[in-house]
C-alpha cells in the first residue's frame, strides 16, 4: 500500500508539469517576439493568457501542497528517467518518470492551456 494518498498524486504531478509548461510558454513568447511574424500581437496575447492560466493553477497547487504538508523535489536524472521525491505528512516516496512521458504530458498540457486561451479570445 502506498504511503502517499492517491488523491494527492495529481497535485504532486502538477508541481512537476506546470513549471515545465510555463518555461516552454515563456520561451515560445520570446521566439514569437523576436521572430519574423507580421502580426505578433495575437500570438503573444494567446501565449500570455495561457501563461496566466498555468500560473493560476500553479499558485492553487502550491497552496494545496502547503496546506497538506506536501513537497516535491526533483532527484536524479539520466537520459531515460527523471526521479521525483514526494513528501507527504512525514512520508517519502520516490517515483521515476520516463523523460518521454514527461515531454508528452507537457505537450498535452500546452495544448490544454492554449485551447483555454483560444476560447477566451
Cell numbers of 57, please?
A: 493553477
pLDDT digits (tens, 9 = 90+) for 11-63: 999 999 999 999 999 999 999 999 998 899 999 999 999 999 999 999 999 99
Q: What is the mean pLDDT of residues 94-118?
A: 95
Cα–Cα distance between 24 and 47 in angstroms, integer? Answer: 10
pLDDT digits (tens, 9 = 90+) for 70-101: 999 999 999 999 999 999 988 899 999 999 99
Cα–Cα distance between 115 and 109 in angstroms, integer? Answer: 10
Domain boundaries along the sequence of the chain: 6-120
Confidence of residue 6 (pLDDT cuts 50, 70, 90): confident
At residue 23, what are phi and psi to the nearest 5 degrees? -60, -45
Q: What is the mean pLDDT of residues 62-66?
A: 97
What's the per-residue H, E or C state across 90-113? CEEEEEEEEHHHHHHHHHHHHHHH
User: Does pLDDT of 3 surpass 80?
Assistant: no
User: Does pLDDT of 108 surpass 70?
Assistant: yes
User: Does pLDDT of 120 surpass 80?
Assistant: no
Amino acid at each position: 500500500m502506498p504511503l502517499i494518498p492517491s488523491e494527492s498524486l495529481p497535485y504532486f504531478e502538477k508541481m512537476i508539469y506546470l513549471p515545465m509548461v510555463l518555461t516552454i510558454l515563456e520561451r515560445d513568447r520570446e521566439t514569437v517576439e523576436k521572430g519574423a511574424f507580421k502580426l505578433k500581437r495575437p500570438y503573444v496575447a494567446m501565449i500570455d493568457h495561457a501563461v496566466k492560466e498555468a500560473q493560476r493553477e500553479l499558485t492553487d497547487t502550491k497552496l494545496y501542497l502547503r496546506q497538506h504538508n506536501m513537497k516535491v523535489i526533483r532527484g536524479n536524472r539520466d537520459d531515460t528517467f527523471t526521479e521525483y521525491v514526494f513528501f507527504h505528512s512525514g512520508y517519502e516516496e520516490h517515483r521515476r518518470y520516463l523523460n518521454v512521458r514527461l515531454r508528452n504530458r507537457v505537450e498535452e498540457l500546452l495544448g490544454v492551456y492554449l485551447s483555454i486561451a483560444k476560447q477566451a479570445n
